[in-house]
Structure 1
Amino acid sequence: MVRRSLAALLAPLLAAGTLVAPPAGAAPQDPIQHVSWGSGDELAAGSVRGVAVKRGKLLLTAEAGRRTFEGRRYDKGTWTSPWVSPGFGLTELIPSWQASTPGDSWIEVRVRGRERDGSMTSWDTMARWTSGGAIDRTTLSGQDDDGTSVAVDTWRTPGVTGWQLKVLLMRREGTSARLRVDRIGAVASAVPARSDVATSATGPAAGKVLDVPAYSQMIHSGHSPQWGGGGQAWCSPTSTSMVLAYRGALPGAAAYGWVPGGHPDPWVDHAARMVYDHGYDGAGNWAFNTAYAGGLVKSAYVTRLHDLREAEDYIVAGTPLVASIAFGRGDLTGAPISSSGGHLLVIVGFEADGDVVVNDPAAPSNASVRRVYDRGELEDAWQTASSGTVYVIG
């Protein structure tokens, strides 16, 4: 189980220019903790049934059980995490994972909480997910039977003091697809509703800008509307694709061969298809975006940061961040759209005065994606909208 301070995590990574595990920073006024299991020793701390930890992965064994789902029979194994007690009453939890599910195989991710009196909530199913086409990738919003509930990619609670994850590995009975889970974790937080935030002080990334390729979602307008409404709604997969391109990890041409000829940047269309959430009916599911990216890079996960000063440490380490924001009319000077109830963009660096350099996919063309936003305005749009949610893709 990985629980590290941001400073301790980043120190050995500055030279390497990549992040391979999530931070666990916490501030008294805004408790945030990220816990992840991603090595053999870490995964071995969980309990298993029909699953073995081999070469740092979770794999089904011959002792797997059986499950019938939508009329089909599956081999089933489970891994259950240790209980995590973050030291505060969490109100939100965002799981994320990396897995490979070839053929007719998939995984299901569940979460439950522990109350202050030691009683436990029921298991809530967060997602059914596949890296292939075995099932429709979906989340299951609702499930508010005992005070907790699922809101797409986020588990909401009234303040439980502990949490636990379970992942089910499912493979069609009689087949031999080698499905595996490489990493699973979650970020827990207790963040109050806010209408304004203080602007953080400029830090060590002042004047540093990463050379992240620029892709516009708007040049895909009308493309494949079945995957979340078309390019005009694809801020998340477009942002994810920008970071994958920066990492040299875009999928090969065979993956997006289905995209009609003449479509620019066809890997963006492919990303939208791969992250589409049938339950949410959109391509903006945070965990589905990092799960897709996680099949192409060493590490990808969702976490939360307290402010842009923490984001600067990632930029110094060579790691751009996909940030989730929202803003009203006139609240984000220079934005290519007047307002948004939910938008994602890539933080790629900082000006010398601390203002934020971004790749904003809502720009009308690739050439106009690079923007500079006022530090205070962007920090407010990010923290009040999503409590500092980011994708870290390394």
Structure 2
Amino acid sequence: MTGSTPRRTVLAAAVAVAAGAAVTSSGGPATAAASGRPSRPRQGKQLVDNQAWTTHAQWRSGTAHGVRAEAGRRPGIVIDRPAGTTRYTDPHTGTSATWEYASWTSPSHRSTVPATEAVAHWNAHTPAGTWLQIELLGTYTDGTETPAYVMGRWTAGDGDADIRRTSVDGQGDGKSSISTDTFAIDAPATGLRLAAYRLRITLYRRPGSRLTPVVWRLGAMASDIPDRFTVDASTPGFAGELAVPSYSQEIHKGQYPQYDNGGEAWCSPTSSQMIIEHWGRKPSPADLAWVDPSYADPQVCQAARGTYDYQYAGCGNWPFNAAYAATYRDMSAVVTRLRSLNDVERLVRAGIPAITSQSFLATELTGAGYGTSGHLMTVTGFTDAGDVIAHDPAAPDDSAVRRVYKRREFENIWLRTKRYNASGNVSSGTGGVCYLYWPAEPTARQRTALAAVGLG
């Protein structure tokens, strides 16, 4: 954003908790019982476009170089006959190795929203010794083309057979650039926008190996959220609460500092883990064998390790969190933007919590007890008055994670794109960014709720 800190830059997944500040919540998580009338998201100019390739027909519609589309209960693409080999030097280990590769490129998608920003996502299985590269190839509204932007290099593993998962800095062409996980137009005031794009995903494996990544979902969220310090208040339309585990990031302070200086910065993976377990998925004992057995909630340590971006040097890379969630059995996961808390109400009513990203001063969110330049928490329900029930990982311990925040305050700090920081200067907000995780075979009610927020 011209004249201010780039929006993605402020979203470090660290939260500055005021010394000794804590909030004790009243009550505990209830079952998914709900009351109230169906929520009705407000209508207006479309600001967000979601596109994904998931079906066998969609996989067959792209351009394949060495991959094949597989049908079945969960269609996807795999390496068939590698298109060639390439040498990759891992910038984080210095290791240089040869890899076989095959690629798939989507048809061009013309966004319904000429966009200032875009974030890709993918759901895949990457056995040890395999990895993925995701690229965005865009077309501007002036008819020119973007470079082939690398949106991420991903593997679920962290062992010697794997690369280090990473975003790629330093990409730009004078019109747009990549900030960690986000494509952004450099000067939106000029009117230039991203009109269309293709996504290319390249699958890698060790030469001679019979292993292959499996990619089930590839997509992107394109958006053009106007600059705004405030948003219109939504009208409450639903009351109810989902049963979600409560995990604090703060109890992990000092643990595994190689992953973003330990648990105090783990709001994103902690939130992700809560929702993964809401859906009945957990890491296995073998997955957790590396964690010090004296540590509580070792699955949070596993989530931090599994989302860590070695370039960003943090666990707050948005699509890396979604990709981690999708490593669990039959899970789908995306990064998107929502319009209001009415959208969240609709999702929660269908059983789907939302992980929201926001930044705020301590005085802007009553009861939080801290201010932050970027923090993730999970919306799990709404009170009878319409206030937000959130699982906030910044709590001092697991018992204090469940909070109730004032609806108007929460909605504004989440949906705004501009704010005043503690120094009185203008900083950025996320404009309604959230992660959504749900089963790969959702119920009819869940499909309806997802479609209502633009996720078919």
TM norm structure 1: 0.90
Alignment of 1:368-383 (within 5 A): 368-383=400-415
Match of 1:152 in 2: 180
Q: 1 CA distance for matches of 2:290 and 2:413?
A: 36
Of the three residues 410, 428, 433, the one matched with 1:389 is 433
Match of 2:81 in 1: 62
Q: Kindly indicate whether the alpha-carbon contact (under 8 Å) linking 1:122 and 1:146 is maintained by their aligned counterparts in 2.
A: no
Q: 1 CA distance for matches of 2:164 and 2:42?
A: 36
Q: Kindly indicate whether the alpha-carbon contact (under 8 Å) linking 1:357 and 1:371 is maintained by their aligned counterparts in 2.
A: yes
Does the alignment pair 1:299 with 2:332?
yes
Match of 2:201 in 1: 167
Does the alignment pair 1:354 with 2:382?
no
Q: Kindly indicate whether the alpha-carbon contact (under 8 Å) linking 1:303 and 1:390 is maintained by their aligned counterparts in 2.
A: yes
Of the three residues 40, 60, 64, the one matched with 1:44 is 60
Q: Kindly indicate whether the alpha-carbon contact (under 8 Å) linking 1:121 and 1:146 is maintained by their aligned counterparts in 2.
A: no
Residues 183-240 of structure 1: CA deviation (Å, up to 9, x unaligned): 110111001221111211112xx22000111110001111101011111100001000
Does the alignment pair 1:107 with 2:151?
no
Does the alignment pair 1:219 with 2:251?
yes
Match of 2:169 in 1: 141
- Alpha-carbon RMSD across the aligned residues, in angstroms, is 1.7
| SS in structure 1 of the partner of residue 239 of structure 2 | coil
Alignment of 1:192-231 (within 5 A): 192-203=226-237, 206-231=238-263
Q: Kindly indicate whether the alpha-carbon contact (under 8 Å) linking 1:26 and 1:33 is maintained by their aligned counterparts in 2.
A: no
Of the three residues 120, 129, 151, the one matched with 1:95 is 120
Q: 2 CA distance for matches of 1:103 and 1:233?
A: 27
Does the alignment pair 1:78 with 2:94?
no
Q: Kindly indicate whether the alpha-carbon contact (under 8 Å) linking 1:198 and 1:376 is maintained by their aligned counterparts in 2.
A: no
**What is the one-letter code of the residue matched to 2:202?**
L
Match of 2:69 in 1: 53
Where relative contact order (Cα < 8 A, 6+ residues apart) is larger, the structure is 2
Q: Kindly indicate whether the alpha-carbon contact (under 8 Å) linking 1:26 and 1:32 is maintained by their aligned counterparts in 2.
A: no
Q: Kindly indicate whether the alpha-carbon contact (under 8 Å) linking 2:180 and 2:312 is maintained by their aligned counterparts in 1.
A: yes
**What is the one-letter code of the residue matched to 2:435?**
Y
Residues 1-22 of structure 1: CA deviation (Å, up to 9, x unaligned): xxxxxxxxxxxxxxx99xxxxx
| SS in structure 2 of the partner of residue 242 of structure 1 | helix
Q: Kindly indicate whether the alpha-carbon contact (under 8 Å) linking 2:82 and 2:101 is maintained by their aligned counterparts in 1.
A: no
Q: 2 CA distance for matches of 1:194 and 1:172?
A: 48
Residues 154-204 of structure 1: CA deviation (Å, up to 9, x unaligned): 11124121111111111111222132111110111001221111211112x
Q: Kindly indicate whether the alpha-carbon contact (under 8 Å) linking 1:256 and 1:267 is maintained by their aligned counterparts in 2.
A: yes
Residues 269-304 of structure 1: CA deviation (Å, up to 9, x unaligned): 010000000110000111111101101142111111
Match of 1:268 in 2: 300
Identify which range, 55-64 or 44-53, moves more after superposition: 55-64
Q: Kindly indicate whether the alpha-carbon contact (under 8 Å) linking 1:100 and 1:295 is maintained by their aligned counterparts in 2.
A: yes
Alignment of 1:218-367 (within 5 A): 218-296=250-328, 297-335=330-368, 337-367=369-399
Q: 1 CA distance for matches of 2:62 and 2:151?
A: 19
CA shift for structure 1 position 64: 2.4
Q: Kindly indicate whether the alpha-carbon contact (under 8 Å) linking 1:57 and 1:182 is maintained by their aligned counterparts in 2.
A: yes
Residues 308-353 of structure 1: CA deviation (Å, up to 9, x unaligned): 0111110011001111011013000011x42000000000000111
Residues 42-95 of structure 1: CA deviation (Å, up to 9, x unaligned): 211211111110121111112422211123211111111111112332000011
CA shift for structure 1 position 96: 0.7
Match of 2:147 in 1: 122
**What is the one-letter code of the residue matched to 1:98?**
N
**What residue ranges of structure 2 are gaps of 5+ in the alignment?**
1-31, 34-40, 90-95, 186-191, 417-428, 439-456
Q: 2 CA distance for matches of 1:86 and 1:26?
A: 21
Q: 2 CA distance for matches of 1:32 and 1:148?
A: 18
TM norm structure 2: 0.78
Q: 2 CA distance for matches of 1:330 and 1:180?
A: 46
Percent identity between matched residues is 37
CA shift for structure 1 position 27: 5.7
Q: Provide closer, same or farther for how the CA distance between residues 111 and 26 of structure 1 changes in structure 2, counting only shifts above 3 A.
A: farther
Match of 2:419 in 1: none
Q: Provide closer, same or farther for how the CA distance between residues 91 and 334 of structure 1 changes in structure 2, counting only shifts above 3 A.
A: same
Identify which range, 317-326 or 383-392, moves more after superposition: 383-392
| SS in structure 1 of the partner of residue 231 of structure 2 | coil
- Give the number of aligned pairs: 369
